[in-house]
Structure 1
Amino acid sequence: MDSGAPSPQELPQRLWPGPSGSAAEEKHLLSSLAAAHTLARIIRPCYGPHGLQKLLVTAKGETVFTGYATAILGALDLEHPAARLLRDAALSQAQHSGDGVAFVVLLAEALLAQAERLLQAGLPRAQLREAYAAATAETLALLPLLAVRSLGPLEDPFWALHSVMNTHTLSHAEYLTKLVAQACWSAKELDGTFRPEQVGVCVVQGGQLEDSCLLPGLAVRGTPRGQVTMVQRGARVALFDCAFGPACPKAPSKARLSSPTDLLRFRTGSDILIERQVAQLAAAGVNVAVVRGDIEEKSLSQADKYGIMVIEVKSLRELVFLSEVLGTPLMPHLVAPQEPGKCQQVYPQELGEGLAVVFQWEPAGTPALTLVLRGATKEGLRGAEQAVYHGIDAFSQLCQDPRLLPGAGAAEMALAKLLADKGSALEGPTGPALLAFAQALRSLPAALAENAGLAVSAGMADMTASHQAGHCLAGVGPEGVINVAQEGVWDALATKARGLRTAAEVVLQLATVDEIVLAKDSPARQQDSDPHPRRAKDRASPVGRNK
């Protein structure tokens, strides 16, 4: 055994207050750390309610004004495999929880930076992975101890959703939060369960955000086509993600006519197919067809003949949403579903400068509500729509787990104190790993303070002193340290726990990578000009002839 290698008991002394200047200038031992630093540097200014926004130019050339980490990460074209792994993990957090994307990126970057320090202090990679896994389990076990409030089953969820929706891109956050809370509360089942698809969101440009409202039923952006513009009672809906007509309307065909009678009776095969398909829809009881695709004029005239209302929509997301609410599948061909969706009536309604189609049920059995968002600009509507989806996802999480953590960085600081106290008393690699997790968690309130325009060192010193004194509700505010309970800033425990677990899993994967090897495609082999390879093989070699 190398006598110069530090023992695990010496690691805390080697690590804190930090490595020497020469060690900091050495090449990164973790090949993924530089990529994580770059990704975090992009996301960090957008973190928190006082974060900044970015002008994002997408791959299609569109300019998007946004401060949401989900939109930024989704538009980035990344080449580094570690950056792609971290990006995909953060986006999975958005898919499952709807929030916490920036939290995952920043925490993973901070944990990787602390892992680098442990490696520089001499901790082997195998022991680092074991210590980080133990620290992750300890962190997740301590997190529920910090839950200080819960959303009651009969309680108005406004106060729990306000801090989630009060983002730096949203104006009139209080009014919009009231609408989301009312919609979620009305759509909740009697047994307390809640499905996010029960609350629809329809974005209509024009007006102001305070003109937003709730509509009974489900409203989608669409245009009625043909003569039938509404169904007042007994609507039976079929959804088609295909053209309303023949699959290949311009396919070449050849007709054989042998007599003048054949010419008089001649009709193309596509006309016969269209009439047969629309007749089958009418025979199945379908009187509303929602189509995402081209609508042929001949098919539309047949639909008018059978009294079928045809609605043209552009958004696949709204079509999928309709499928979930109505309980009928998306049909890839013009064939009637086995069980069409049912509602009371379907009618168009003008909303601002746009037109929407409303699917309405009986008042006692309305399975969905629609929050109609109004706004003057696309950027403002995009931010409001994202905030609404955050609120709906947060309510869904709270219906499953109603526990709440103190927000504004208070939970991270309190958790860091618990981990630091426990890590200082432990021997072996687990102690430094707990201290590393504590340091990484403290970087998140520091980012909030920096984005709020505060002096980071002074603000962190005040927060540390408050938590050392036992004030676990001390968080970062716009002017300094605040009491998060008095300000009403809360985080969902389930979302925070999932974000911690996701960030730790990414770090455990990247901590054991010592080198990134890029395997490129080899150039195509040159083909022999002779079409008969056996004959070419049997030929005498020109080198042999020269011998």
Structure 2
Amino acid sequence: MDSRVPSALELPQPLEPHPRDSWRGLGEEEQHLLSSTAAVQTLANVIRPCYGPHGRQKLLVTAKGETVCTGHAAAILRALELEHPAAWFLREAAQTQAENTGDGTSFVVLLTEALLEQAEHLLKAGLPRSQLREAFAAATAEALSALPSLAIRSLGPLEDPSWALYSMMNTHALSHADYLTKLVANACWASRELDGSFRAERVGVCALQGGSPEESCLLPGLAMAGKLCGQITTVLNGATVALFACPFGPASPNAPATARLSSPADLAKFRKGNEQLIEKQVSQLAAMGINVAVVWGDIDEKTLTLADKYRMVVIQARSRAQLIYLSEVFGTPLLTGLLPPQKPGRCQSVYRQELGEDGAIVFEWECTGTPALTVVLRGATIQGLRGAEQAVYHGIDAYFQLCQDPRLIPGAGATEMALAKMLSDKGSKLEGPNGLAFLAFARALRSLPKTLAENAGLVVSDVMAKMSGVHQTGNFLIGVGAEGIINVGHEGVWDTLMAKAQAFRAATEVVLELVTVDEIVMAKKSG
């Protein structure tokens, strides 16, 4: 391959994904990069319509056969069946971004796709692969170093965080955003430690179907949806909790078993022995001080009667996920049989809080390091509750980031356009691979506000022309709104600097790794 470095004028313009015929004449290593680009483009095409506050939603059919309506990229990525290693690699990076910051999943996917497309153009124009990687690394470092200069606002230590959380929670799937934002802001503010720090696990989220979003509220401690099964419904002082991932009753054998009974006396003896075993197990739980049992499984009536006898609250959880979360909060293991835990969970009180026609089970503590408040969400539909729940988690994660780094940068694509201008200005003055990479990086960044405009149903060429013109004057607060360009400072559209920086790193690390791939080796499938 010709090692001559082309000038910026010789570079091809952005094109649609290339057919395989265009790969002819390229080396085998370059073809591997192009196949990765095609796989990432396919993944990005799925996510792109969901990007931004005006993005659309998708109907997902999960592996369990459930139909879910969502516009959240993290949920969509989890549901996709991927085969190409590059797509797997990108999904892992995007999901890590979602786990660490709660936001930026779509950003990672779309920026990775745009950068790989630009890398493809540079590769076809004759830039050697090793120089391409070094030049992209330099452009990445320049963008990350320039990013903090755009942080013109910050959240004060005694300031109400509602204004900062609103734009991060106001997604296209959320109704009553103002009310829920204030609810989350109050929960986060009240759950701070004495030194002003904040831990996300201090705020729980509970979704209860029924009612309206205005009936959402805050409850002390940890609230969960569940069913109280016995006559004992409250522990007001000194609750000791055991978690059972099994039926609350006689154990079911793992292997088929048949009791051989030759007479009515044998049957009576068998039943009596079984009842004695259950009573012994429940009495052992009571002897260990267990007075709250949370069960994911069926509840046996006779066993429940014994629990009432020993003054034990029995709660039937709605899902295994609830039980796993309680296990993490209490620091006690899930039990697969009615045996006392070595380390039971402890809290101050357990009771039921009535909420309209429904209710929530509340676990309340008086010590630090435990859930302080729960945001209880109400809504008529499961889909609406899922969207609200995701938005609340975004708000909690955003507040956690702001407690670590209070700086905020312009949202709505304004930051991407500002960085694109900086890189373009510097790239036009540089010679060699770095100049080309800076210009390519700028083109990739401009694709993100372009996608926002497309999803908002705007005339993309007009919006991009107006944004570019204003940004050229030095005003980097202009972004994409519902009806055209907006001043994000006036509209209050902000992103946390921490989340944006991590998303930049995640996307560019994927690109730099894929650029170094010289071969895709697939292990032979077994069977």
- The equivalent residue for 1:113 is 117
Q: Does 1:273 align with 2:277?
A: yes
Query: Retained in 2: the 8 A contact 1:204–1:351?
Result: no
CA distance in 2, matches of 1:245, 1:395: 43
CA distance in 1, matches of 2:21, 2:269: 87
> Once the 2 structures are TM-superposed, how far is the Cα of residue 352 of structure 1 from its aligned partner?
4.0
Query: Retained in 1: the 8 A contact 2:174–2:384?
Result: yes
Deviations 1:64-120 (A, max 9, x none): 222111121111122222222222221121111111111011000000000001101
CA distance in 2, matches of 1:160, 1:145: 18
> Once the 2 structures are TM-superposed, how far is the Cα of residue 169 of structure 1 from its aligned partner?
0.8
CA distance in 2, matches of 1:492, 1:266: 65
Query: Retained in 1: the 8 A contact 2:133–2:512?
Result: yes
CA distance in 2, matches of 1:337, 1:11: 70
CA distance in 2, matches of 1:109, 1:393: 26
Out of 448, 452, 457, the position equivalent to 1:453 is 457
Query: Retained in 2: the 8 A contact 1:218–1:368?
Result: yes
Q: Does 1:397 align with 2:401?
A: yes
- The equivalent residue for 2:63 is 59
Deviations 1:103-153 (A, max 9, x none): 011000000000001101111112222222222222222212211111111
- The equivalent residue for 2:75 is 71
Within-5 A mapping of 1:141-180: 141-180=145-184
Q: Does 1:297 align with 2:301?
A: yes
- The equivalent residue for 1:319 is 323
- What's the secondary structure of 1:425's corresponding residue? coil
Deviations 1:224-250 (A, max 9, x none): 122212223322222223333444358
Partner amino acid, structure 2, of 1:507: V
> Aligned-residue CA RMSD in angstroms?
3.0
CA distance in 2, matches of 1:457, 1:375: 40
> Once the 2 structures are TM-superposed, how far is the Cα of residue 289 of structure 1 from its aligned partner?
0.9
CA distance in 2, matches of 1:418, 1:492: 20
Q: Which has the larger radius of gyration?
A: 1
Query: Retained in 1: the 8 A contact 2:12–2:125?
Result: no
- What's the secondary structure of 1:385's corresponding residue? helix
- The equivalent residue for 2:412 is 408
Q: Does 1:384 align with 2:381?
A: no
- The equivalent residue for 2:134 is 130
CA distance in 2, matches of 1:334, 1:141: 57
> Once the 2 structures are TM-superposed, how far is the Cα of residue 253 of structure 1 from its aligned partner?
6.8
Q: Does 1:499 align with 2:503?
A: yes
Deviations 1:5-33 (A, max 9, x none): 3533x332322656899999823841111
Structure 1, unmatched stretches of 5+, are: 524-547
- What's the secondary structure of 1:31's corresponding residue? helix
- What's the secondary structure of 1:494's corresponding residue? helix
CA distance in 1, matches of 2:485, 2:427: 26
Cα distance change of structure 1 residues 363 and 338 upon mapping to structure 2, 3 Å threshold: closer
CA distance in 1, matches of 2:258, 2:238: 40
Deviations 1:379-403 (A, max 9, x none): 2111111111111111111112211
Cα distance change of structure 1 residues 11 and 295 upon mapping to structure 2, 3 Å threshold: farther
Query: Retained in 1: the 8 A contact 2:201–2:371?
Result: no
Partner amino acid, structure 2, of 1:195: R
Which stretch has the larger CA shift, 21-30 or 296-305? 21-30
Please, what TM-score do these two structures have when normalized by structure 2?
0.90
CA distance in 2, matches of 1:432, 1:366: 52
Within-5 A mapping of 1:454-533: 454-514=458-518, 516-521=520-525
Structure 2, unmatched stretches of 5+, are: 24-29
Partner amino acid, structure 1, of 2:211: G
> Once the 2 structures are TM-superposed, how far is the Cα of residue 499 of structure 1 from its aligned partner?
0.9
> Once the 2 structures are TM-superposed, how far is the Cα of residue 518 of structure 1 from its aligned partner?
4.2
> Once the 2 structures are TM-superposed, how far is the Cα of residue 268 of structure 1 from its aligned partner?
5.5
Please, what TM-score do these two structures have when normalized by structure 1?
0.87
Query: Retained in 1: the 8 A contact 2:428–2:439?
Result: yes
Partner amino acid, structure 1, of 2:220: P
Cα distance change of structure 1 residues 21 and 296 upon mapping to structure 2, 3 Å threshold: closer
Aligned residue pairs, count: 518
Within-5 A mapping of 1:369-380: 369-380=373-384
Query: Retained in 1: the 8 A contact 2:239–2:348?
Result: yes
Over the matched positions of the two proteins, sequence identity in percent amounts to 65
Query: Retained in 1: the 8 A contact 2:210–2:378?
Result: yes
